[in-house]
Structure 1
Amino acid sequence: MASVIKQRQALGEQVSLFSQVKLEHLVAGISGGVSSTLILHPLDIIKIRFAVNDGRMHAAPRYNGIANAFLTIYRQEGFRGLYQGVTPNVWGAGASWGLYFMFYGSLKNWVKKGDASANLSAGTHLALASAAGFTTLLITNPLWVVKTRLCLQYGGIKKYNGMIDCLVKIYQADGFRGYYKGLVPGIFGVSHGAVQFMVYEEMKKAHSKYYSQPITAKLSTIEYLTFAAISKLIAAATTYPYQVIRARLQNQHYSYTGLGECVKLTWTHEGWRGFYKGLGTNLVRVVPATAITFVTYENVSHWLLKHSENKLRS
C-alpha cells in the first residue's frame, strides 16, 4: 500500500484525507476501549462518586478510600451496583477510542502524505490529536452524560431504567441541550488526549531512533505497556480538573447555573484540592485501562493492516 502511494506521489497525484481513512483503526480502537472498560468499570463508578462529592450534598454517599468504596457499594448494591452505567460506558469507550484512533490515524497519514515512515514534530502530533479529540467529543458526549447519571444512582432510588430510558428522559427534561451538559469542560479535556498521544508518539519515535528502527516497526507488548502508562500518567496529572467539573455539571443530584458557578463554588468550599477529588482512583483505573487499550489497539491494528495488505497483494 505504501509503495502504491509513493508511486502516485511521484506522478504528482494528491493524497486525499478520505483515502487515508482506515476502518482497521476504528475496529482496533473499539476492541481496546471495550476490553479495558469491561475489566475496570467498577473503578470508574468509584472515581465519579468521589468527584461529585463536594461535601455539601447530604444524600451523596461518602467513602473512606477506594477499598471502602468498593466494599460499601458491593454490600449495599451488589455486583450490579459496581457495573451501573456499564452499557453507555462500553458504548462510549468503544466509540470514543475507535473514532479517536480512526480520526487521528487518518489525519496523521494525510499530513504525512501517505508515507507512514515519515516523522512528525511533537507540535504536529499535539494539533492532530486535539482535532481528533474534539471531533470525537462532539459525537460521543451524550453517551458520557448518560454514563455519569447511571453511575450516580444510589440509595436504592432509580430515576433511569437503563441507557435508552436515560436518553429519553434527558431529552424530555432538557431537550437536545441536555445531551451536551459538561461539553465545555470536555472541550478543555481534549487537551488530555492530545497530551497523551503526543507523549506516546514522541516516546515511540525516540525508541525507534535509538534502535535505528523504522517508525512503523511493531514493538513488544512491554514497550507498548510502558509508553502507554507513562503517557497516561503525564496527561492525567496535568489535565484532571476538567473531569471533576464535567462530572459535577452532569450530576442529576445538583444543579449549577453553568461552568463559572461550578468552578467558583468548588474553589470556595474545597480549594484547589476539590479539583483533584478522585484523582487517586482515576490513576489506579486509567493507567491499566490505557495500557490494555493501547496494547490491544496496536496488536489488532497491526494484524488487520497486515491482513489487508496481504489481500491486496494476492
Structure 2
Amino acid sequence: MSVTSDKIKLPPYIEGTSALLGSTVATAFLQPFDFLKVRLQGSGFASSSGNSSGSGEITKIKRVGVIETCKNVLKNEGIKQFWRGSSPTIVASGIAWGTYMHFYETYKNILKTKQNVTQLDTFNHFICAVGASASQVFITNPIFLIKTRMQLQTPGSPTYYTGIFDGIKKTVKIEGFKGLYKGVIPSLWLTFHGGIQMSSYEHIKYYFSTSSSKSLDSLNASEIFIASSVSKLLASTILYPFQVVKTRLQDERNIPNQNNVKVYNGTKDVIFKILKNEGITGFYRGFVPNTIKVIPNTSITLLVYEEIKKMFQLYYK
C-alpha cells in the first residue's frame, strides 16, 4: 500500500494534544446523549425491592425507552441532570482520546520504521489501534468509572459523588484501590473497538486519497466526516454489548451491601443474567442515543483533530 503521506511528520504528543482538544469540543455539545445512553444501559438492574432480601436475585421490571427516560429525568431530576457527570466525561474523553492518539501514532511510527514503509496496511493499523486502546484503558478506567456512577446515582445515596475527586476518594475508601478498575475486563475487550474503528478510518481515508490523487492530509471535511462516521458506526454496532456489561459492573448499585451481596458477580454473571432476564436485546440497551451521540462526537473530534494537526504542521514548517 503506497500513498503520499503527511507532509510534516508530527511528534506523537502533538497528535495526542490535537485529539484531546477535538474530544473536549465534541463532548461538551453532546453530553445529554451520553447521559441517556448510560441511563438506558444501567436500567436492566433490579428494583430496590428486588435486593431487599439480600439474595442478589434480579427482579424483572418494566423497561423504559428513550422518550420515557427523558420525561422521567425532566420530571423528577430537572434538566440539569442531563449534564450530570459532564466534568468527568469531558476529562475522561479528552484524556482517552489524547493518550489513545499519542500511543496510536507512536506504535504506527515504530512499525513504519521497522517495515521501512510510509503507509501501513489495514491489519497493521488494526494492531496499532488495539495496542493504543489497551494502553489508555489502564489510565482512564478510574475516571470512566466515576463518570458512569455520577450519571446513574440518585440524590441522597450514601455513596453520592459530588465530583471526580470525591468519587475517587469514596470508591477507594469503600471498595479499595481495585474498585477503581471495575469493568476493566470488558474495557479490554473493547480495545477491539479502537482497532475496528481506526483501521476502517485509515482504510476509508486511503480510498479517498487514492481515488482523488490527493495526499492524506489534503482530504476535505466531508471526506473526513464520512470516514469517521462509517468507521465509528461499524465498531459501535459490533462491540456495543461490552459497553452494557461494563456499565452494569461499574454502577454504584453493584457495590456490596452490608451483607456483602452484589447484583452482579463478575463479567460472566452479568452476561448470564442479561440473557436470562432481558434476552439479546438487553445487550443493546441505549443503542439509539449512543448512535445519535457517537457519530457526531467522533466526526467532530476527528475533524477538529485533523484541523489542529494542519495548524501544527504550518508551525513545524
1:79 counterpart residue number? 79
What amino acid is the match of 1:29?
Answer: A
Deviation at 1:115, TM superposition (A): 11
1:228 counterpart residue number? 228
For structure 2, the residue ranges without an aligned partner over 5 or more in a row are: 1-5, 51-60, 255-261
Deviation at 1:301, TM superposition (A): 1.4
**Please, which moves more after superposition, 191-200 or 106-115?**
106-115
Q: Is the 8 A contact 2:8 2:313 kept in 1?
A: no
Cα shift readout 1:118-139 (whole Å, capped 9, x = no counterpart): 2211110100000000001111
- Please provide the CA RMSD for this pair: 2.5
Distance 1:235 1:3, change over 3 A: closer
Cα shift readout 1:236-286 (whole Å, capped 9, x = no counterpart): 111100000000000111331111111111111111111111111110111
Question: Matched residues in 1 for 2:8 and 2:156: separation?
Answer: 61
Task: Choose which of 263, 274, 281 in structure 2 pairs with 1:273.
Answer: 281
Question: Matched residues in 2 for 1:301 and 1:58: separation?
Answer: 50
Deviation at 1:42, TM superposition (A): 0.9
Q: Is the 8 A contact 2:88 2:147 kept in 1?
A: yes
Deviation at 1:63, TM superposition (A): 7.3
Question: Matched residues in 1 for 2:238 and 2:103: separation?
Answer: 24
Q: Is the 8 A contact 1:142 1:180 kept in 2?
A: yes
What amino acid is the match of 1:38?
Answer: A
Cα shift readout 1:71-105 (whole Å, capped 9, x = no counterpart): 43233222321111111111100000011111111
2:218 counterpart residue number? 218
Deviation at 1:55, TM superposition (A): 5.7
1:125 counterpart residue number? 125
Cα shift readout 1:54-82 (whole Å, capped 9, x = no counterpart): 16325899774323323432332223211
Distance 1:4 1:272, change over 3 A: closer
2:259 counterpart residue number? none
Question: Matched residues in 1 for 2:112 and 2:179: separation?
Answer: 39
Question: Matched residues in 1 for 2:120 and 2:39: separation?
Answer: 40
Any residues of structure 2 matched to 1:231-242 within 5 Å, and which? 231-242=231-242
Q: Is the 8 A contact 1:185 1:243 kept in 2?
A: yes
Deviation at 1:4, TM superposition (A): 10
Say yes or no: does 1:304 pair with 2:309. Answer: no
Give the number of the structure with larger relative contact order, counting CA–CA contacts within 8 Å between residues 6 or more apart: 2
Task: Choose which of 265, 269, 277 in structure 2 pairs with 1:261.
Answer: 269
Question: Matched residues in 2 for 1:196 and 1:266: separation?
Answer: 26
Say yes or no: does 1:282 pair with 2:262. Answer: no
1:293 counterpart residue number? 301
Question: Matched residues in 1 for 2:78 and 2:63: separation?
Answer: 16
Identical residues among aligned pairs (%): 28
Any residues of structure 2 matched to 1:107-126 within 5 Å, and which? 107-113=107-113, 118-126=118-126
Question: Matched residues in 1 for 2:104 and 2:29: separation?
Answer: 25
Aligned length: 293
Distance 1:55 1:150, change over 3 A: closer
Question: Matched residues in 1 for 2:74 and 2:109: separation?
Answer: 46
**Please, which moves more after superposition, 83-92 or 69-78?**
69-78
What amino acid is the match of 1:49?
Answer: R
2:200 counterpart residue number? 199
1:8 counterpart residue number? none
What amino acid is the match of 1:186?
Answer: S
**Please, which moves more after superposition, 22-31 or 243-252?**
22-31
Distance 1:101 1:46, change over 3 A: same
**Please, which moves more after superposition, 241-250 or 109-118?**
109-118
Question: Matched residues in 2 for 1:75 and 1:24: separation?
Answer: 44
Any residues of structure 2 matched to 1:1-314 within 5 Å, and which? 21-54=11-44, 56-58=46-48, 64-113=64-113, 118-154=118-154, 157=157, 159-214=160-215, 216-254=216-254, 255=262, 256-307=264-315, 309-310=316-317
Q: Is the 8 A contact 2:12 2:101 kept in 1?
A: no
For structure 1, the residue ranges without an aligned partner over 5 or more in a row are: 6-19
Q: Is the 8 A contact 2:12 2:106 kept in 1?
A: yes
> 3-state SS of the aligned residue for 2:214?
coil
